[in-house]
Every structure is written in C-alpha cells, then in structure tokens.
Structure 1
Amino acid sequence: MYKNYLKIAFRNLWRHRGFSFLNISGLAIGLTAGFLILLYVGFEISYDNFHSKADRIYRVVADIKTPTDNIEADIPAWAVPPHLEEQFPEIEAAVRISGLDMLVRKEDIKFQETEAKIVDADFFNVFDFKLLQGDADNVLKDPFSLVLSEKAAKKYFGNENPVGKTVKIMEEGHLATVTGLMEDFPENSHIKTNMVVSMATYTKGMDRDVDSFWNNYGAAGYILVAEHANIDQLVAKFPEFLERNNGEEMKKSQMYVNLFLEPLIDVYLRSTRGGAGGGNISNVYIFSIVAIFILLIACINFINLTTARSVERAKEVGIRKVIGAGKRQLGIQFLGESIVISFMAFIIALVLTAIAIPFFNDMAGKIISPGIISSANQLPILLLMSLGIGVLAGIYPAFVLSSFKPISVLKGSFSSGTRGILLRKGLVIAQFTISIALIIGTIVIYNQMNYMRNQELGFNKEQTIVLGTGVSPSQKALRHAIDDLPNVLSTSLSSSVPGKSNSSAYSEVENINGDLQIANLALYFIDEEFIPQFDIPLVAGRSFSKAFATDSTEAMVVNEETVKLLGYSSPEEAIGANFKQWGREGKIIGVIKDFHFKSLRQPIEPLTMRLEPKGTDLLVVKVNPKDIQQTVAAIASKWEAIIPNAPFDYYFLDQSFNKQYQTEERFGNLFLNFAALAIFISCLGLLGLAAYSTLQRKREIGIRKVLGSSVGGILNLLSREFVKLVIISFFIAAPIAWFFMYFWLEDFAYRITLQWWMFALAGASAIIIALLTVSFHAIKAAIVNPIKSLGTE
C-alpha cells in the first residue's frame, strides 16, 4: 500500500513538473536560509560556552560615580582582582587580562604583536584554553615567561619545538622564555590572542606597584567562584570591601566605585559595557525572527500551491473514494506526498548549504562553520525542521483533499469554495506582509549605514597614515626624515587618533562657579601640529604654539562638550579656566569644535588635549593622494634605516576608522541577503499561484478576447487581484516594521529619522515585484490565440 502511495506521489510530481519545481525549490531555499541562520545563531550564543567552568566565571566591572557623571567601566582597578581573591574565600581564583602592543624579535624575525595579553598565573586554571605543552600551574609563574599559540610558534620558530627557547620582547629587548604551547584560541571566544605573557613580567619590567593601584584602570578582571557560591551575597559585600581598602582615597578624589559581576557567557552578547564584548543579542533575535519568517513563507507557498491545485485532483479523490478508499487513507497519501516533497527539499538544501557556507563565512566576517560535515551534529535539526514543515504544511491540504464528496466531484460540480480562496488570499497577504517588512528593514539599515559612513565627523581623516613608533628616542629622527619626503604634507605626534582607544584622566577643572569640578575626562597627548593637521576648527582662544614655552607645561585645549560640562554658556568664557590633571596645573587656552573621536554609536564626550612629548607613541603623516604606494614605500625605507629593530607598523586612518562599523556593515549585508531570499521565495509562490489562476481562467480570457478585450485589459484583470493583496499587506507591515526599526535605531547615538518615503519605497517595490512576477503568465495568457482556449467548448 505504502509503495503504491509513493508511486502515485512521484507520478503526480512528475506530471506537474512546473508546480513541483516551484514547491521543492522554494522549500529548499527556505531550509537553506533557515539552516544558515541556525548556524549563525548557534555560533553567536556558543561564545565562551566551551569553558568547563563557564557557569562559575564572572567578569568584574565597575560603575564610577563622579560629581558630574557615572562611568560604566568594563574593567576594575588593577588592585581589585588580586585583593578579591585574597579577601573572599568563595573566590577560588582571580585573573587580570590586559592588552599589550609589544615588539617581539627572534633574530631577524620581528613583529609588533598588537594582540598580546598580560595575564595572571592562574589564567590556564580558570579558562579552558588548551595547553599542548607546559604545566598550567607553572607556565606563567615567573617573570619574562610567555606561552605561544600554534600560529605564533610557527611564525617565530617554524616547525621547531618552541618550549624552552627565547625571544626578545619590548623596546628594551628583555629576554623572555617560551614556557608553553597552546592551541589557537577558538573563534567563539571573546578573549583572543596569539601570545600570553606572565603578569610577573609586567610587575618586574614595567610597573612594580600595579597590585596597589586602586584608582588606575587598565586590565579586565575575571574571578572563578566556588561551587554553590551565592553571587548576590558576594556582590553585596563589595561596598564594604572597597570602603575598607580604598575608602579614604575615594572620598578624597570624590570618585565612588561600585563593583558588579557579569557572567562570562553574557560578556560577548549581552554586556552593554563594550570592551571585550562585540556581539549584539538584538541581532541574534532579529536573525532568528527572519529565519522563522523565511520558513513560514516557504510553508505558505506549499499550502497555497497544493490547495490551489486541489480542483485538478478532485476527480482522482472521487474515483478513489468510489472504489473504497477511506478518508484516513487519502489523508495519509496526501500527507505522505507533502513529506516526500519536504525530504527532497531537505536533500537539495544540504547541497545548497554546503555551497553557501564559504560565502556565508565571508559575509559574517568569521568562520561560523568550516563546512557541512563539521556541522553534522546540527543536520538532524534541519531534517526535523524540513519534515516538520512537510507535516505542518501538508495537514490542511490533506484534510481538504480527503474531504471531497465523490458524487459532487464526479458530476463536475466541485469548486474550490470561498473558504479555500480566502485562505489562499490570507496566506498571500501573510507572505507579502513579511516581505514588505523585510524590505522596509533593509532600506532603514542601508540608510543608517550610509549615514554613519557619510556623517560629518568634524575632522579630516583622508590621506592620513598612522605609524606606531612607540615612545622611543628614534621617533623624532624618523619624523624629521619623513618631513623631507616630497609627497608628505605634514606630520604630527599623538597618543591616539579618532577611532582608537584613548586615555581617561582624573581631572579638576574650574567651572562657571569658580569651583574645581572633578570629572574623568578623555585625554589626548599631542604636539603643536595635531589640531591643524586634522583640520579641527578652533572656536575660542588659541591652539598650542611653539611661540609659548609654557604650553608644554601649563596649557590645555578642550572641546565644546567639556565647556558644556563645566556650565559655561559660551566657549569664550572657558578660556583662562584653571585645571589640575595627572600632576599638571595650568589654564585652558583654547576650545576646539566637537569632533567624533569615538564611534557614532556613542555621543561625543568631553575631551582634553595637552602637549606631552613623552606620551606620544604615534606618528601621524598627511600625504599627497598622488602616488600613495610610492610614498608608503619611501616612508618604509626611512623606517628601516632609523628603527631597524622594529617592524614597519602603519595603517590608513580612514580605513581604521571605518572598521568600527564592520559589525553593523556585516549585519546589514546578511540582513539584505536573507531579505532578498525571503522575497524571492514569496515570488516563487506568487508565480505558481499566478500560473494556476491563469490556467483556471483561460476560457474566460479567450471569451474576453473574442469580445474585444486588449492585452492590457487582460493583464489588468489578472494582476489587479494580486496588487490588492500586496496593498493590504503593506498597511499591515508598515506599523510592524516601524516599531522594530525604531527600537533598532535606538542603539545608535547618531541615527537617521524614519521617513515616510522609506515605507512608500518598500510598498512600491513590493507592488512592482508582484506585477513583474504575475505579468509573465498574464501576458502569456493574454497573447494566446482564443481559439486554443475555447477549443474544448
């Protein structure tokens, strides 16, 4: 019996090849998109879950309350983690992790390791980063010991065993011993590095007193708590801990700290403090919804095309019922056909997914999955998804087809009925509601990304090369050599550039009331050429000048936001205000116009600038746009001659600044592609319905042509019904899309406003897409000779 069901199913699929192709391909594409999104969502939520103690590891974060603001820091003070471990028995271990831009040399091999990490000795005991060689208890115990990843070991030592060998680190050339070899860090770790250096190296070679720094913030802190520890009770003890260890200093500085704990598995996706984060749980939710929408559209296609063809199979059902087939048997047969289609779609989806994964990884900007085989553990989910869709999508058609009355259908009096027509219209409306909502989302996301790319930044970042020279005696010599190159327009020195992290300094600045107002202010160390080189407008006072010797010891330039913070009604009022900052005292000599020195996701913050030659580790070079490659080669030649022990370390500022928006760009590209897939699947279903509708009305079309109807009239007749459904869909989709896009834009400090034309464009696009989809069959039917249409009458 079941063999016969399968035979009938395949015969029916082959007989109606066009409809079968639309059904299977639409479902296959939907499953492919759904599986890719499943891989993406699964990968994003897997961050840091591979650590066996992940449920007991917490990141220590701090709220720092000053008289003027509340700073939500993603790191604690340097002294906090080791003292937490020492004073709380429920904390088994504490680890600090600090990024380090470090020169590493081995004979002629030299690299500027920008992602090296300084970590405490318990690093490998807290985190499950696999050691291939070395003992977790001892590899980071001693000063000048480090552990290399497989990738870094190959870079420095080739195929040799690196353990026990030495490299020179930092500008001073300290000799450091490789004490361990670790596996390359997994892609789904928010901590990423190729080299970890012992904290003892830092305390011995750079700063011996770091463990007593209660007001200096420079390293992320993680703690491992004991099993069954009560986290709420632990956090409740932190205020007393801070008061005991740093209470007097907090009162003196008027900077009051509160400590909190973030679960390790929340750091990447759910933390609002930035830093080690980088994911976005909202994007995960959005893609999950898009996946559901795409699969829903594929289901709707199946139901629509199957029920639309029910008239053709009515006589088959009637005959089978007359010869004894029961409703249950017919239901099983039609449901089985649905499952066969879904299984065929599953096989095709596997092939399409295998082809798409490399391109999907490129769009996502990371290795979501190496290939279909590595994701084999998720294939049963895809199979269950496809079979589930087959069952869910096939239940209604099976019920409808198996319920036909044999006497009625064999007399030819059967029609699909009002309920069937209303169902199909309702499903088409649902399809295009989803599609229009996705089109609106795509338009909004594209315009927001375009707005961020083209926003007036308040400074000139074009044709600017940034050299990471470090604070070295050779920096000035290199600058003078580069100044003499023909295509170099200007050079300057700084501690940071827009788009990169900057220092924050405890500051006391005179406000409108004449009081020294305490605040934690962003700080740039620069030279006299920095402000004019970046074309940052001066709105009051003057900039730094070599004509004033005191500028290097007693002067500060601030931005407009700092003026507002201090309560002055105009920038001119702030000129001459006194300040104290990091051991310096002096006066504000100038106010610059606000510029975006951070991402457009963040509002412009108060910024201070000071002349500090010993704190400038970047050499900024403005070049002529002509022959840039030749200019870079000339700069590299000067570098090799003057700083031969360090690798040529440079980047273009505009490219670096734009990298801040890579996450949003990739999200936008992924959203656009999946939205396009959803619309394409909708069009496949609409194409099938249009073909069937045209087939059902071919005699009517023939009669209308005989009576003088034009091709345009026929086209209008067949398209009008579908256009009405799209218009209804638009009025449903518009408010839904507005709601979700409004809240998505809330994540950006600088954002576009939702405009009426975005919704109108989406609606018009949907109508055009529907018309183009329907018109093919409508025109084909309209130009057919009416004699062929009426030949059977």
Structure 2
Amino acid sequence: MFKMYFKIAWRNLIKNKVYSGINIIGLAIGLTAGFLILQYVNFEHSYDKFHSKKNSIYRVVADLDTPSSGKMESSRPACAVPPHMEEEFPEVISAVRFMRLELAVRKDEIKLVEDKAAAADRAFFEMFDFGLLQGDKKSVLQEPYSVVLTQETANRYFGNESAIGKTIRIKDEDINDLPFTVTGIMDEIPENSHIKANMIISMTTYSKGVLPRINDAWGLYDPAAYILVHPNTDPKQLEAKFPDFLERNSGETMRRDKMFVSLFLEPLEDVYLRSERGGEYSGDLGTIYIFSIIAIFILLIACINFVNLTTARSVERAKEVGVRKVIGAEKRQLSLQFVGESIIISLIAFVIASILAALVLPAFNEIAGKVISDGIFTNPINIAYLFLIALSIGAFAGIYPAFVLSSFKPVNVLKGNFSTGTRGIILRKGLVITQFTISITLIIGTIIIYNQMNYMRSQELGFDKEHTVLLPVTVSSAQKELKDNIDNISGVVSTTLASAVPGAYNNSAYSVIQNSQGEGQIANINAYFVDHDFISQFGLKVIAGRGFSRDFVTDSAQGMIINEKAVKFLGYASPKDALGATFSQWGKDGQIIGVIQDFHFKSLQENIQPLTMTMKPDETDLLAIKITGNNIKQTLADIQNKWEAILPNDSFNYQFLDENFDKQYRSQERFGSLFLNFAVLAILISCLGLLGLAAYSMLQRKREIGVRKVLGASVAQVVKLLSTDFLKLVTVAFLIASPLAWYVMNDWLSRFAYRISIEWWMFLLAGTSAIIIALATVSFHALKASLANPVKSLRTE
C-alpha cells in the first residue's frame, strides 16, 4: 500500500514539474534560512553553558552610589572584593579575578602586541572548564611572572618546540619588560564564552610583584570577578551578607568619600545575554528575539506557499479523488496519501536545504562576525533538527489540503460539477495577505535599519577623527622623545599624548568638584589625561575660558577642563560660571580653567556624559598622530623608523582612529546585514508562491481570457484585469504591516540615544516596492496569458 502511495506521489510530482519545483525550491530556501537563524539563536543561548560547574559560578557586580551623581551600575567590583570574599565567606569555594590586558611581548627577534591577553587568579582553571593541554591547573597561575599560552600563541613564539619552562618578556604600563615563564598550554577558548584570552598571566604578578597592595584596593574597579560557591548555596542569602562585609572592610572609606557600594551576584549563564551591565563581550537578547521571529516568519511563508499551491490545484485532482472513492478508497487513506505527498516534498526540500546550508554557512559566519558552526555535518544533532523541522512542515502543511481533497463528493466531481467554493478562495487570499504582511514588515524594517546606521555614520561627532594614527606607548620615559621625533616627519601635522581618545577605553576618576552651591560634589566621572596639544589636534571647541597652554606653568599641575555636560551636572547656569571652580582628582588639586563644547567620545548609542581633562603625564600611554593623508604609506614607514630607533625592543603596532571608532557599530551593522539578507529571502519565497499561484490562476481563466480577447480586449486591459486582484491583496497587506512595523522598529530605535525619526516616506517606499515586486511577479504570467492565441484556449474547452 505504501509503495503505491509513493508511486502516485512521485508521478504527481513529475507530471507537474513547475508547481513541484516552486514548492520544493521555496521550502528549501525557507528551511535553509530558518535553519541558519535557529543555529545563530541556539549558539547565542549556548554561551558559558559548557562549564560543568556553571550552576555554582556567579559574577560579582557592583552599584556605586554618590549623593550628587546617583547610582552607577558596574560590571566589576573593587579589586579587593574577590580575595576577601574567599577568606570570609564559608559558602565561597574560590574567587577569581579576570583582567583584560594588552601586552607587548618579546621573544628574541619576535615582537608582538597581544591585545587578547589577560591576568587571572590561581583558581581560574579549576573554576572554569578551559582545558589545559600541558600543566597542572592547580598551579599554572600560582607563582608571580608565570604565563599560560594557547597552542597557537605558543607556536608564534616557539615554533614546534615545547614552550613549557621557557621564557618570554612582557611589558605593559605596570610591568616593565620582565621575563615570564611559560607554565601551561591551554586549549583555544571556545567562541561561545564571554571570557576570551589567548594568553593569561598570573594575578600574583601584580599582588606579589608590581602592585603589592592590589588585594586591598577597595577603590580600584578593574578586573571582572567570579566566585564558585557550594552547590546548595542560596545566592540571595549570600547577597544579604554583603552589606556587613563591605562595612567591615571599607565602611569608613565609603563614608569619607561619600561613595556607597552595593554588591550583587549574576549567574554565569546570564552574563552574556541577560545582564544589563554589559561587558566587552555581551549579546543582545532583543536581537535574538527578532531573529527568532524572522525564522518563524520565513518558515511560515514557506508553509503558506505549499498550502496555497496545493489547495489551488485541488480541482485538477478532483476526478482522481472521485474515481478512487468510487472503487472503495476511504477518506483516511486519501488523507494519508496527500499528507504523504506533502512530506515527500518536504524531505526533498530537506536534502536540498542541507546542501545549501553547508554551502552558505561560511558566508553566514562571516556576516555574523563569529564562527556559529564549522559545518552542519560536524554535529549530527544539527541535521536531526533540520530533518524534524522539514518533517513537521510537511505534515502540518499537508493537513488542510488533505482534508479538502479527501472530502470531495464523488458524484459531483465525476459529473464535472465540482467547485472549490468561496472558502478555498478566501483561504488562499488570506494566506497571500499574510505572506506579504510579513514581507512588507521586513522591507520597512530594513529601510529603517539602513537609515539609522547611515545616520550614525554621518552624524557630526564634534571632533576631527580623520587621518589620525594611534600608537600605544607604554614606556613613559620614551614618550616625549618619540613625540618630538615624530613631530619632525614631513607627513605629520601634529602629535598629542593622552590616556584615551574618542571611541577608545577611558578612565573614570573619583573626583570632588565644586558645584554651583559652593559644595564639593563627589562623582566617579569620565576622565581624559592629556597634554597641551590634545584639544587643538582633535579640533575641540573651547566655549569658555581657555585650553591648556605652555604659557601657564600651573596648567600641568592645577588646571582642569570640563565639557558642557559636566557644567550642567555641577548645576552651573552657563559655562562661564564654572570657571574657577575648585577640584580634587587623583591626588591633584586645582581649578577649572576652561569648558569645551560637548563631543561624542563614546558611541552614538549612548548619551554624552560629563567629562574632565587634566594633564597627567604618567597616565598618558597613547600617542595620537595627525598626518596629512598624502603618501600615507611613506609616512607610516617614517613613523616606524623613529619607533624602532627609540624603542627597538617594542613591537610597532598602530590603528587609525576612524576605524577604531567605527568598531563600536559593528554589532549593529552585522545585525543590519543579517536582517537585510533574511528580508530578501522572505520576499523571494513570497514571490515564488505568488508566481505559482498566478500561473495557476491564469490557467484557470484561460477561457475567460480567450472570450475577452475575441470581444476586443487589448493586451494591456487583460494584464490589468489579471493583476488587479493580486495588487488588492498586497495593498491590504501593506495596511496591516505598516502599524506592526512601526511598533517593532520604534522599540528597536529606542535603544539608541541618538536616532532617526520614522518618516512617512519609509512606509510609502516599502509599499511601493512590494507592489512593484508583486506586479513584476504576476505580470509575467498575465502578459503570457494575454498574448496567447484565443482560438487555442477556447478550442481546449
């Protein structure tokens, strides 16, 4: 029996190659797109779930509250918190600090800057399941000046030789070119981890070496902190003990500084996607929801195509059903036949989708900016998911057609009196409207996303970022000499030393600044440490007072410049009123000498925040070089020659400021690229369905078209007649999609501090595009039908 079912299904597919091909291709594209999106969503949810102790690991985070500036949420507690927690709480098995670093590394003639380096406490490899290929996880990070490398990093410095026990020289702003012993080789950290590093030095390098007081630094908020607790520990009960813990250790300091700290615990599995405190590597749960909905939409469109085409063609199979019923076929058997045909189509589409997914996956990884999967055949569960999705679509999509086809009355259909009725027509129209509602929503979304990203790229930032080269300089004694030598290069316009530049990491400094009430206002405020040339080189506008000047020797010791936001933060009515206000910051006391116009020193996703600038030479480890833009290659070579002459043991490593600043928008640009690609696929699948439905509609109306042409109807009139019905459906879809798209995209735009307005023309453009696409799709068959010889179409009746 099943063999006969299969034969009938196969013959039906071969007989109707066009409709079968449209169904299979539409389903295959839908399955491929849905599968890739679900892979992405599943990967994002998999972050940090591979650790065996994940349910007992928590990240320690802090709230910093001051009377004047309010609460600031931090993803990092004070550096002293983790070691003291391990000592004082019996619930805590171990505590680990993880500090991101950029290290200058040297091995003989090999000199590199490792920007994915880190420092971690001894228990790092015991807490987390980052495998060690060589070394003892209990001791590899125990001694000062020890380092663990990934195999790839070890190969860069030692080739094929064993690296264990050998040394490399490491330098940063605290470590002054010291030898480190390789104590371990670790696996590459998985992509789905928010903790990333290719080399890790021991935290004891700081606590027992270069920064011996770091374990008692209650005001330093740099490393991330994690604790491993006993399995039965209630995190809320442990959190309840933190206020007393802080009072015992830093109560007097908090009251003196008027900065009050609260500590909280975040489950490890929530850090990447669900934490609102962010971090260098964090995901976006809203993006996951959007892509999940898109995946469902694409699969839904593919299902709609199948149901539409199958029910539309039910008339052709009416006589087949009638004959089979007369000779004894039961409704159940007929239903099974048609559901089986649906599943066969889905399984053929599954095979094609598997091949397509394998071919497209590398490009998808590139667009996503991470390796979602090495290949769909790497993990058999991936194929199982795709197979189940295809099987489910086939079964679900075949239920309604099977019900309709198996319900035909044999007496009526054999007499030729069968008609699909209004219910079938209403269903098909409703499904077409649903398809194009989804497609138009995605078109509107794509237009809004594109315009928002274009707005962010073209927005006036308030500073000059063009043709600026950034050069990290960690050797403070060489900074002045290097700056002076590079200043003399013909292609160099100017140079400036700073602790940070717009778009790069900047410090927040504990500050007490006189406010409009004459009181010392305490705040952790953004702080730039710069030299005399910073303001002029970046084209910042001084709107009150003056910038730093070599004519005033007190500027370097007592001067501060603030931005407009800081003026408002301190309560002054105008920038001029803030001049002369006193301050105390990081051991420096003085007065505000100038106010600069606000500029975007962070991403446009954030509001401009208060900012201070002071001159602090021992904190400036970045040389910004403004070049002419003429013969850039030669200018960079000249800069490198000066570098190698002054710092022969340090690697020459540079970036362009505009590229560095634009990195902030990469995640949103990737989101936009993925959204655009899947929107195009959704529209393509909708058009395939419309193409098949239009072809069948023309076939059904051949006699009507022939009669109209005999009576004198022109080609244009026939095309208009046949296209109007479909365009009405697209118009209805547009009216439904517009408010839906506005609601969704308005919510998406709310994440940006600086955003576009949703304009009426965006909806008009999307609607017009959908109508043109639908018209082009339908008109092909409409034109073909209108040009056909009416004699032939009437003779076939």
Question: Where on the TM-score scale, by shorter chain, does this alignment land: which range?
Answer: over 0.9
SS at match of 1:312: helix
Query: Aligned-pair distance for 1:792?
Result: 2.5
SS at match of 1:59: strand
1:684 maps to amino acid: L
Report whether the alignment pairs 1:420 with 2:424: yes
> Which residue number corresponds to residue 167 of structure 1?
168
Report whether the alignment pairs 1:211 with 2:212: no
Query: Aligned-pair distance for 1:63?
Result: 0.5
Output the CA distance in 1 between the equivalents of 2:197 and 2:491: 37
> Which residue number corresponds to residue 60 of structure 1?
60
Output the CA distance in 2 between the equivalents of 1:752 and 1:139: 52
Asked if 2 retains the 8 angstrom alpha-carbon contact of 1:64 and 1:258, the reply is yes
* 736-745 or 69-78, larger mean C-alpha shift: 736-745
Report whether the alignment pairs 1:315 with 2:316: no
Asked if 2 retains the 8 angstrom alpha-carbon contact of 1:463 and 1:652, the reply is yes
SS at match of 2:476: coil
Query: Aligned-pair distance for 1:391?
Result: 0.5
> Which residue number corresponds to residue 123 of structure 1?
124
> Which residue number corresponds to residue 709 of structure 2?
705
> Which residue number corresponds to residue 135 of structure 1?
136
> Which residue number corresponds to residue 448 of structure 1?
452
1:306 to 310, 319, 322: 310
Asked if 2 retains the 8 angstrom alpha-carbon contact of 1:471 and 1:615, the reply is no
1:60 maps to amino acid: V
Contiguous gaps of at least 5 residues in structure 2 = none
Q: Deviations over 1:597-640 (max 9, x none)?
A: 11111111100001112211111111111211221112112111
Query: Aligned-pair distance for 1:740?
Result: 1.3
> Which residue number corresponds to residue 11 of structure 2?
11
Query: Aligned-pair distance for 1:50?
Result: 0.8
1:372-411 aligned at under 5 Å gives the runs 372-411=376-415
> Which residue number corresponds to residue 434 of structure 2?
430
* 11-20 or 624-633, larger mean C-alpha shift: 624-633
2:300 maps to amino acid: L
Asked if 2 retains the 8 angstrom alpha-carbon contact of 1:268 and 1:276, the reply is no
1:662 to 663, 666, 673: 666
Q: CA RMSD in A?
A: 1.0
Output the CA distance in 1 between the equivalents of 2:326 and 2:235: 72
> Which residue number corresponds to residue 181 of structure 2?
177
1:765 to 760, 769, 773: 769
Shift of the 542–530 alpha-carbon distance from structure 1 to 2, 3 Å rule, reads same
1:214-293 aligned at under 5 Å gives the runs 214-293=218-297
* Aligned residues between the structures: 793
Output the CA distance in 2 between the equivalents of 1:591 and 1:488: 28
> Which residue number corresponds to residue 98 of structure 1?
99
2:550 maps to amino acid: K
Output the CA distance in 2 between the equivalents of 1:334 and 1:295: 20
Query: Aligned-pair distance for 1:135?
Result: 0.7
Query: Aligned-pair distance for 1:82?
Result: 0.8
Report whether the alignment pairs 1:612 with 2:616: yes
> Which residue number corresponds to residue 744 of structure 1?
748
Q: Deviations over 1:196-220 (max 9, x none)?
A: 1111111233211001111111111
Output the CA distance in 1 between the equivalents of 2:109 and 2:227: 40
Asked if 1 retains the 8 angstrom alpha-carbon contact of 2:377 and 2:383, the reply is no
Output the CA distance in 2 between the equivalents of 1:494 and 1:69: 28
> Which residue number corresponds to residue 110 of structure 2?
109
2:220 maps to amino acid: N
1:726 maps to amino acid: V
Query: Aligned-pair distance for 1:783?
Result: 1.2
Output the CA distance in 1 between the equivalents of 2:789 and 2:525: 80
Output the CA distance in 2 between the equivalents of 1:752 and 1:674: 23
2:683 to 679, 684, 687: 679
> Which residue number corresponds to residue 547 of structure 1?
551
Asked if 1 retains the 8 angstrom alpha-carbon contact of 2:376 and 2:382, the reply is no
Output the CA distance in 1 between the equivalents of 2:651 and 2:190: 27
2:59 maps to amino acid: R
Output the CA distance in 2 between the equivalents of 1:376 and 1:480: 61
Output the CA distance in 2 between the equivalents of 1:322 and 1:100: 80
> Which residue number corresponds to residue 23 of structure 2?
23
1:363-762 aligned at under 5 Å gives the runs 363-762=367-766
SS at match of 1:268: coil
1:74 maps to amino acid: S
> Which residue number corresponds to residue 342 of structure 1?
346
1:81 maps to amino acid: P
2:375 maps to amino acid: G
Asked if 1 retains the 8 angstrom alpha-carbon contact of 2:22 and 2:692, the reply is yes
Output the CA distance in 2 between the equivalents of 1:599 and 1:262: 26
Asked if 2 retains the 8 angstrom alpha-carbon contact of 1:469 and 1:649, the reply is no
Output the CA distance in 2 between the equivalents of 1:106 and 1:204: 24
2:21 maps to amino acid: F
Asked if 2 retains the 8 angstrom alpha-carbon contact of 1:168 and 1:176, the reply is yes
* 544-553 or 712-721, larger mean C-alpha shift: 712-721
Output the CA distance in 2 between the equivalents of 1:445 and 1:609: 35
1:355 maps to amino acid: L
Q: Deviations over 1:200-252 (max 9, x none)?
A: 11123321100111111111100011111011111111111111111111011
Query: Aligned-pair distance for 1:732?
Result: 1.2
Output the CA distance in 2 between the equivalents of 1:539 and 1:421: 70
Query: Aligned-pair distance for 1:69?
Result: 2.2
Asked if 2 retains the 8 angstrom alpha-carbon contact of 1:118 and 1:198, the reply is yes
Query: Aligned-pair distance for 1:276?
Result: 3.9
Output the CA distance in 2 between the equivalents of 1:167 and 1:413: 89
Runs of 4 or more consecutive aligned structure 1 residues displaced over 3 Å after TM superposition: none
1:175 maps to amino acid: P
SS at match of 1:470: coil
Q: Deviations over 1:358-401 (max 9, x none)?
A: 11011011111111211322211111110110000000001100
Q: Deviations over 1:523-575 (max 9, x none)?
A: 10111111111111111110000000000001000000000001111111111
Output the CA distance in 1 between the equivalents of 2:230 and 2:409: 70
> Which residue number corresponds to residue 78 of structure 2?
77
Output the CA distance in 1 between the equivalents of 2:210 and 2:351: 60
Contiguous gaps of at least 5 residues in structure 1 = none
Asked if 2 retains the 8 angstrom alpha-carbon contact of 1:91 and 1:224, the reply is yes
SS at match of 1:181: strand
Asked if 1 retains the 8 angstrom alpha-carbon contact of 2:499 and 2:621, the reply is yes
1:333 maps to amino acid: Q
Output the CA distance in 2 between the equivalents of 1:374 and 1:206: 46
> Which residue number corresponds to residue 155 of structure 2?
154
SS at match of 2:272: helix
> Which residue number corresponds to residue 41 of structure 2?
41
Output the CA distance in 2 between the equivalents of 1:443 and 1:575: 46
2:86 maps to amino acid: E
Asked if 1 retains the 8 angstrom alpha-carbon contact of 2:123 and 2:138, the reply is yes
Query: Aligned-pair distance for 1:116?
Result: 1.2
